[in-house]
Structure 1
Amino acid sequence: MDFIPNLAINNNYRFLHEKFISNNNGTTFAESVTVLMSPTLLIVPSQLIVYTLLNPSNPKKSPALNYFLIYLVEFACIALPIITFTTILSNYFAFYFILLTLLLFIMLSFTSVIDDENIERPIAMPKRPTITYFRCIVNVGSAIAILGVDFKIFPRRFAKTETFGFGVMDAGVGLYIVSNALTTPVNIMDTNSINMNNLYKSVKHTVPLIVLGTARVIVLESLNYQQHITEYGVHLNFFFILSIIKFIVPLTLPFMKPSSLYFYSISLTVMQQMILMYRAQDWVLSNVLRNNFLDANREGIVSILGYLSLYLGGVAIGLQFPNKRGAKVRDYMELVLKLGAASVVLGLLTGYTYSAFGISRRLTNSCYILFILLVSVLIIILCLLSEALLINFTKKSSNIPEIFKAINKYPLLFFILANLLTGIVNLSVNAIYIGPVTSFLILICYMFTLCSITIGFYVRTRKD
């Protein structure tokens, strides 16, 4: 039977499901990078379709109906292609990526993005659409993957790796850390003192994550829900890891100069690798029984320093963005060149550390940290080019999809809902036995429900 008659998962199915999502070896470096970059290439086409066919400023159309149509077009142009080409059409992903890349280059070639007029156009400040693009692409991709991986139509090569390898899903947690780091306020740095107001905000943001992490542990245990304990351990989960990082950062950034962030990030990366080489890697990968808190959660404990390094690297990248009013497209084009050079360096370092240590999200080793920073920089470059193209086409300083506006305002709500809906689906059906067509339709309904609820909250609370 595909449907489960009660809320708890039986032990036999839990064993089969955990086996299904475990022991994966990932894919190639090239495919990982292209899969992670590809959603960004959907932004420009989706917004051009909306701008051309459903101009929100058209007074002849009902605002409510037009908004709903905009939402449907954005869902069809952003979420639906991601679902399609990471599931039923995943074998044709290379063709899909090449097509989108060619489309972007054609638009760049036949438009005057860097002419004297467009290059002086203002950028939307302090909204910074590029960062919104990045954060929302990470959220949407993660939401699709956390449920998609439970179905057979989601390729095992895209799933999280057991120990070493390039897994598309392995990048999710790292990119989520970077997306949070990009918006870290610069005013808390180099003050040589801990501002109590900032500390209060840190605690305020940390406590909900701890509550969510605790609730997740209790609920999963009570429902006998399938778990992949080699991700973070028996008791730790992503909510706990993020809460620790969110608490540590405000206590350390005030004593760091913005210009030294790269040094601190690199130093922590080297330190993380040295700790792993000393004994930590053998401990994490050992068959030691998980009969105490440290042994039970060794993956999560060992990874904290690596994620802190990644966060500081993300802050350093975020500080490169122009933060003054009056910033222009020219500033973004200069940033593209700067980040392009950085991507070459990060690519070389990723290649070197991969040959020396391999890549492991489970260990959060040096290669993983550098790989996530490399992918982040490449995605940001595409986001910058997309923003510049849209400014040129629409003559507006801000071109953010409505779905992205909603997710950007309520990222935690979106993430929690994604986890809740994933749980509901897995408690309702035996996902590993569902056929391709039904699985595909379930994923579409899941994402449509998730996006609809989030955008509903946004519409009810927005002030414009």
Structure 2
Amino acid sequence: MRDMDIGVGSFVFSGGIASAIPLIKTPSHLAAPTFPKMLRAMRKSLPIILLGLVRVLLVKGTEYPEHVSEYGVHWNFFITLALVPVMEVMLHPVMIRVSVTAIGIVVAISQQLLLSKFGLSDYVLNAPRVDLISANKEGIVSLPGYFSIHLLGLTTGLLLLPPSPSYFRRIQRSLQTHSLNDRALAERYAVRQNGKTATELSGYLVLWWALMGLCSLLKLNGGNGVSRRMVNISYIFWICAYNVSFILAYLLLDMVFFPSPSTTSKTKKIDQNSASSLNPILPTAIPHPLLDAVNKNGLVVFLVANIATGLINLAIPTMYTSDFWAMVILCGYSYAICATAWVLKGVRLRL
């Protein structure tokens, strides 16, 4: 399995985690009218779509080597990233009453049914590129799979980011009974419950690895193994299992070396005049300043890394580079990306 297969799936999964923030900060956001939220999501996605179109022009104009079998002739990962958040907003009315995990699994199963039972797998692998849709068949067909990864990442974020893993379930019940009280929720969950969060993440960890193994054992993936090209069900569960494994390991290390205050201790009284008192996401210490610098401008660092990769591949015949010089280039590349994040740490760039 290539690093890129892990990278793009993990990027979508982490985007799902981050998309939990508005649902936690402002619980009523979930029940807000869908159409205005879709327009806002589309406006936020517009710069990423423009970046995707610019990438297409640059790649075609410079004859940059590319594998059209990844996303298609014109489609690229930026377009997928731009569409997935808009698709999520469309499901907000459903998320009030249905578990986000269940929605994500249903989307994953539906994606696999389309691949196995409705011929999309054969279409992706064998259909000629005769029109705009078939020219971009990989990107179009893989989109529901990436959407499923995003939703299952959102599930993880809704467990991990609030003080209690049951926080979002409380929001759902309150919205269903029209008794939502932001301040009451913030006061009730004033102390982090990392033990409970670790327990629930462990359950999800077992679930994702078990589902991935079951899909492989019973060949529910159509016999195609783990396929990033089609984003089949094995790939979806593999990405979820991989990321939750690391997140749980980081959480356990955090609990050991940076323990939260005991849930039995008295919490400080919430400032009734402070807007932050309604914010249930408690600030946590960043273990390394460089991580904080990258987090502040994640998309910018991602774009710089992509541009640097393209320039290196245009300037150097990387396929014929010796192992020694390959390591020199990789180390220099990593240092340059980290240095860029560090220089930009004092500003917050928004695209």
TM-score range, shorter chain: 0.7 to 0.9
Match of 2:190 in 1: 326
Match 1:368 to one of 235, 238, 255 = 235
> Distance between the aligned counterparts of 1:245 and 1:389, measured in 2?
36
- 1:194 paired to 2:81: no
Unaligned stretches of 5+ in structure 2? 164-188, 261-282
> Distance between the aligned counterparts of 1:405 and 1:368, measured in 2?
30
Q: What residue identity is the alignment partner of 2:155?
A: A
- 1:354 paired to 2:189: no
Aligned 8 A contact 2:209 2:238 in 1: yes
- 1:280 paired to 2:167: no
> Distance between the aligned counterparts of 1:322 and 1:459, measured in 2?
24
Alignment of 1:166-177 (within 5 A): 168-177=3-12
- 1:398 paired to 2:281: no
Match of 1:224 in 2: 63
Gap change, CA 1:242 and 1:301, over 3 Å in 2 = same
Aligned 8 A contact 1:313 1:373 in 2: yes
> Distance between the aligned counterparts of 1:177 and 1:272, measured in 2?
16
- 1:183 paired to 2:22: no
Unaligned stretches of 5+ in structure 1? 1-25, 27-158, 160-167
- How far is 1:333 from its partner? 2.0
> Distance between the aligned counterparts of 2:97 and 2:47, measured in 1?
29
Q: What residue identity is the alignment partner of 2:253?
A: S
Gap change, CA 1:254 and 1:410, over 3 Å in 2 = farther
3-state SS in 2 of match to 1:182: helix
Match of 1:340 in 2: 202
Match of 2:92 in 1: 253
- How far is 1:246 from its partner? 2.0
- How far is 1:298 from its partner? 0.6
Gap change, CA 1:258 and 1:323, over 3 Å in 2 = farther
Match of 2:244 in 1: 377
- 1:432 paired to 2:316: no
Aligned 8 A contact 2:296 2:348 in 1: no
Aligned 8 A contact 1:189 1:256 in 2: no
Match of 2:172 in 1: none
Structure 1 range deviating more: 312-321 or 225-234: 312-321
3-state SS in 2 of match to 1:362: coil
- 1:420 paired to 2:326: no
- How far is 1:411 from its partner? 0.9
Match of 1:265 in 2: 104
Alignment of 1:20-31 (within 5 A): 26=1
Aligned 8 A contact 2:9 2:146 in 1: yes
Gap change, CA 1:218 and 1:174, over 3 Å in 2 = same
Q: What residue identity is the alignment partner of 2:191?
A: A
Runs (4 or more) in structure 1 with deviation over 6 Å come to none
- How far is 1:322 from its partner? 5.3
> Distance between the aligned counterparts of 2:124 and 2:34, measured in 1?
34
Match 2:150 to one of 307, 311, 320 = 311
Alignment of 1:239-250 (within 5 A): 239-250=78-89
Gap change, CA 1:343 and 1:441, over 3 Å in 2 = same
Gap change, CA 1:258 and 1:445, over 3 Å in 2 = farther
Gap change, CA 1:322 and 1:289, over 3 Å in 2 = closer
Match of 1:447 in 2: 334
- How far is 1:460 from its partner? 5.0
Aligned 8 A contact 1:258 1:316 in 2: no
> Distance between the aligned counterparts of 1:372 and 1:302, measured in 2?
18
3-state SS in 1 of match to 2:91: helix
Gap change, CA 1:188 and 1:175, over 3 Å in 2 = farther
> Distance between the aligned counterparts of 1:386 and 1:230, measured in 2?
40
Q: What residue identity is the alignment partner of 2:121?
A: Q
Give CA-to-partner distance per residue, 1:170-202, whole Å, 9 cap, x none.
121111111011122213664162262x44441
Gap change, CA 1:217 and 1:413, over 3 Å in 2 = same
Gap change, CA 1:351 and 1:245, over 3 Å in 2 = same
> Distance between the aligned counterparts of 2:337 and 2:226, measured in 1?
32
3-state SS in 2 of match to 1:354: helix
Q: What residue identity is the alignment partner of 1:175?
A: S
Aligned 8 A contact 1:273 1:366 in 2: yes
Match of 1:117 in 2: none
Give CA-to-partner distance per residue, 1:119-150, whole Å, 9 cap, x none.
xxxxxxxxxxxxxxxxxxxxxxxxxxxxxxxx
Match of 2:256 in 1: 389
Aligned length, in residue pairs = 291
Q: What residue identity is the alignment partner of 1:285?
A: L
> Distance between the aligned counterparts of 2:196 and 2:309, measured in 1?
41
Aligned 8 A contact 1:178 1:311 in 2: yes
The structure, 1 or 2, with the larger RCO (C-alpha pairs under 8 Å, 6+ apart) is: 1
Q: What residue identity is the alignment partner of 1:219?
A: L
Match of 1:210 in 2: 49
Please, what TM-score do these two structures have when normalized by structure 2?
0.78
- How far is 1:314 from its partner? 1.1
Give CA-to-partner distance per residue, 1:36-87, whole Å, 9 cap, x none.
xxxxxxxxxxxxxxxxxxxxxxxxxxxxxxxxxxxxxxxxxxxxxxxxxxxx
Alpha-carbon RMSD: 2.2
Give CA-to-partner distance per residue, 1:336-395, whole Å, 9 cap, x none.
1221122112211101112312221111111111111111211110121122233159xx
Give CA-to-partner distance per residue, 1:290-334, whole Å, 9 cap, x none.
231111111111011111111111111111125256333xx1122
Match of 1:299 in 2: 138
Q: What residue identity is the alignment partner of 2:241?
A: L
Structure 1 range deviating more: 374-383 or 185-194: 185-194
> Distance between the aligned counterparts of 1:262 and 1:342, measured in 2?
10
Please, what TM-score do these two structures have when normalized by structure 1?
0.59
